[in-house]
Amino acid sequence: MSNKPIKIEDYYEQATFNRIKALADTKETPFVVIDTATVDRQYDTLVGYFPYASVYYAVKANPAVQILTLLRDKGANFDIASIYELEKVLSLGVSPDRCSYGNTIKKSRDIRTFYEKGVRLFATDSEADLRNIAKAAPGSRIYVRILTEGTQTADWPLSRKFGCQNDMAIDLLILARDLGLIPYGVSFHVGSQQRDIGAWDAAIGKVKNIFERLQLEDNIELKMINLGGGFPANYLTKTNELSDYAEEITRFIREDFGDDFPEIILEPGRSLISNAGILVSEIVLISRKSHKSLHRWIYTDVGKFSGLIETLDESIKYPIYTGKHGELEEAVIAGPTCDSADIMYENYMYGLPLNLAIGDRLYWLSTGAYTTTYSAVEFNGFPPLKDYYV
């Protein structure tokens, strides 16, 4: 059980929390409040640590107009996964040369739409997709996504489903050239909330191998490495600081590529947005399953189907702040719907104040990313999670 009460100052500047709380106090739960100034600062911090890289924001992390326009104005590029995300980003006046189609799973007609709108940078990891790109988006720049290890140390792995082995990546980049495309680079994603910085070392080593073999054997000069996302947000499970990630990753690139870096792309999602948000819920019911039970069940008005899907397998452990003090006791925490999968934490028991009461609010910290859009439309009639921006 986590026995220590959460301290706000470990996660937010007091002024930021006050700003969020002031708005939260006027709204009915459940909802997320996102502090855009924090996103602004996180972006600057990231760019400061990786001055040589260009940032492609992973739109899926939080596609709110408030965030997209902020990042647009700060000069970010956008990693886009569907025609719907594309439409939204372009409608905000972002030019298509700031967009990549980063999803390796796509319909031919959607590739065509991206191409017609002006996008010329495409990810792939398979021959069938590559051939579709060659037909629907002729002459475009291609980067191939490779498989990476490190799924054990990523809290939300993104690996098995995407990417291909190195040998196949090489063949695809050669085929890209033969199909009239531009073999441009290699990408990977070491897994979201990756706690082992060494995962980048292994992946960059694989990329180096691809660069060298293509240069030597086929005279193809790749230009770009896409280091993906995976940078950390602040949850209960500790990680290194972003500055440690930057220092180490920069060293890994230098060790493999020398001082003359290829073009480097980052695709942050979680690390930019999570800590800007707080999800606020209300306790609906507190009960025990037997008279002598040593722990409570705490049911809140937000759950797996209303934004907290990343608690699946208890993968992401959000810090939960109650504002109450006093003795703690273990609790199972569950959502409001009639589905028994709607339990957020049961194996990992949170210690929550004994004096919590029905109607009290829970503040789920670091919930700015991967919450609003994961929320179901109408399960049990509950509306999607609301979001507000300060």
User: Binding residues for ligand PLP, per CB under 6 A?
Assistant: 58, 60-61, 79, 102, 158, 189, 192, 228-231, 267-271
Pick between residue 222 and residue 233 the one whose CB is nearest to ligand PLP.
233
Alpha carbons 341 and 320: distance in angstroms, whole number = 20
Task: Give the residue at shortest CB distance from ligand PLP.
Answer: 229
Structure tokens that stand for 285 in this block = 């019911």
* Minimum distance from residue 235 beta carbon to ligand PLP (Å): 13
Closest CA to 381 of 343, 345, 339, 334: 339
Closest CA to 312 of 348, 281, 362: 348
Pick between residue 316 and residue 332 the one whose CB is nearest to ligand PLP.
316
Q: In this structure, what are the phi and psi dihedrals at residue 71, rounded to the nearest 5 degrees?
A: -70, -35
Strand, coil or helix: 331: strand
Pick between residue 96 and residue 269 the one whose CB is nearest to ligand PLP.
269
* Minimum distance from residue 7 beta carbon to ligand PLP (Å): 25
Pick between residue 132 and residue 271 the one whose CB is nearest to ligand PLP.
271
* Minimum distance from residue 273 beta carbon to ligand PLP (Å): 8
* Minimum distance from residue 307 beta carbon to ligand PLP (Å): 16
Pick between residue 191 and residue 262 the one whose CB is nearest to ligand PLP.
191
Alpha carbons 254 and 252: distance in angstroms, whole number = 5
* Minimum distance from residue 305 beta carbon to ligand PLP (Å): 21
Q: Do residues 331 and 297 touch, judged by C-beta distance below 8 A?
A: yes
* Minimum distance from residue 373 beta carbon to ligand PLP (Å): 12
Closest CA to 280 of 157, 154, 390: 390
DSSP run (H or E) holding 24: helix 14-24
Pick between residue 269 and residue 307 the one whose CB is nearest to ligand PLP.
269
- Burial track 360-371 (b if 16+ CB lie within 10 A, e otherwise): bbbbbbbbbbbb
